[in-house]
Amino acid sequence: MRKALAACFALAALSPDVARAQDAPYPTRPVKMVVASAPGGGTDAVGRMLAQHFSQAMGQQFYVENRPGAGNMRGTDVAAKSAPDGYTLLVSASTLAINHVMHKNMPYDVVRDLAPITMLVSLPSLLVVGPDQPFKTVPEFLAAARAKPGDLTYGSAGLGTQPHLAVEMLKNEAGLDLLHVPYAGVGPALIDIMAGRVTGMLVNFLSAKSQVDGGTLRALGISSLKRSHFLPDVPTIAETVPGFEAIQWFGLLAPAGTPEPIIRRLYEEAKKGLESPEMRKRLDAEGAEPVASSPEEFRVALQAEMAKWSAVAKAARIVPN
């Protein structure tokens, strides 16, 4: 009996290591990271940075697959309905917290069908216009919009995306009438703005800074409450429209039901990457601030964002279709 008890105690002491040994290693094959927008935008840029870090840190290829369309819902749906095994992930913009206010019958439920891993970064948006537009300041832009209601146009990454709702919030707070021109991603919208076919756009800092620096876009204002040290001469929109703030974020999620150890490992590796000097330098150069929130913190923030944009849609009298 004494020998049997000793054997049981020995087994119990070893059980954590035995359990770990029995766990299948992750990852053992390439991991697809679905980006629900077109190449060239901020979501794509952050997704590719993260995929590179994961590939180096975890010993398997992590690769980006762009699935734009339907206001980011096409790619989100693909990810939400994938097997919850850690081999399909979603890199999403804050549009994820907005689509429910635009669409009644969504093909997925954000809270039910997706497992938050981490909010990756946050960043303000820039109100940009093409270099040939006549206005050079936010007050001039607002004056032109008020002088010719419905004449000025603004682009977005699609119906219900954050760039769309952010301008709707600006329209409501500033008393504007602008014509919306939706695109299947940020990149195509910026091309038409630079060419003068669309007046302007509220676009995240990461997607537009290089064009602003190069002179192919003109930044009229920034959507944070404080000026950015990257573009200190660009005033905040709030200096003209008091209290206006529209911050965009990018997050990493997995299909609901993905094992908790995989969720935790992805979070920890993402956090290491976002806090590394190399990635911080790359993000800092684009005006993006690393967040690296825990899965629990991201879930709370996501639900708060959903409530916020519901209120914006209600004020703008947007009815889900």
pLDDT averages per 10-residue partition of the chain, 321 residues: 43 41 77 93 91 97 94 94 98 91 90 98 94 96 96 89 89 94 90 97 87 95 91 95 92 98 98 95 84 97 93 83 80
Strand-strand pairing, 179-182 and 62-66: unpaired
**Between vectors from CA 208 to CA 175 and to CA 193, what angle results, nearest 5°?**
60
pLDDT at residue 15 in the model: 40
Which CATH code is given to the segment(s) 124-239?
A: 3.40.190.10
pLDDT at residue 308 in the model: 87
pLDDT at residue 23 in the model: 58
Domains 28-122+247-315 and 124-239 share a fold: yes
Phi, psi for residue 314 in degrees, rounded to 5: -65, -45
CA distance 221 to 69: 28
55: how many CB neighbours lie within 10 A of its CB?
Answer: 16
> Directed axis angle between helix 42-58 and helix 260-275, to 10°?
110
Tokens coding 316: 């703008």
Helix H or strand E encompassing 180 = strand 179-182
**Residue from 114, 93, 97 nearest 35 by CA:** 93
pLDDT at residue 166 in the model: 93
Q: What is the DSSP string of 198-266?
A: S-EEEEEHHHHHHHHHHTSSEEEEESSSS--SSSTTSPBGGGTSTT---EEEEEEEEETT--HHHHHHH
62: how many CB neighbours lie within 10 A of its CB?
Answer: 24
User: What is the three-class DSSP state of 67?
Assistant: coil
Tokens coding 78: 């693909």
Tokens coding 218: 């003109």
Task: Please give the C-alpha separations between residue 14 and each of 11, 22, 183, in angstroms, as whole numbers.
Answer: 5, 12, 57
Please state the pTM of the whole predicted model: 0.76
pLDDT at residue 240 in the model: 97
pLDDT at residue 147 in the model: 96
Domain boundaries of the chain, sorted by first residue = 28-122+247-315, 124-239
DSSP state, residue 101: G
**Between vectors from CA 167 to CA 164 and to CA 173, what angle results, nearest 5°?**
145
28-122+247-315 under CATH 3.40.190.150, yes or no: yes
pLDDT at residue 24 in the model: 67
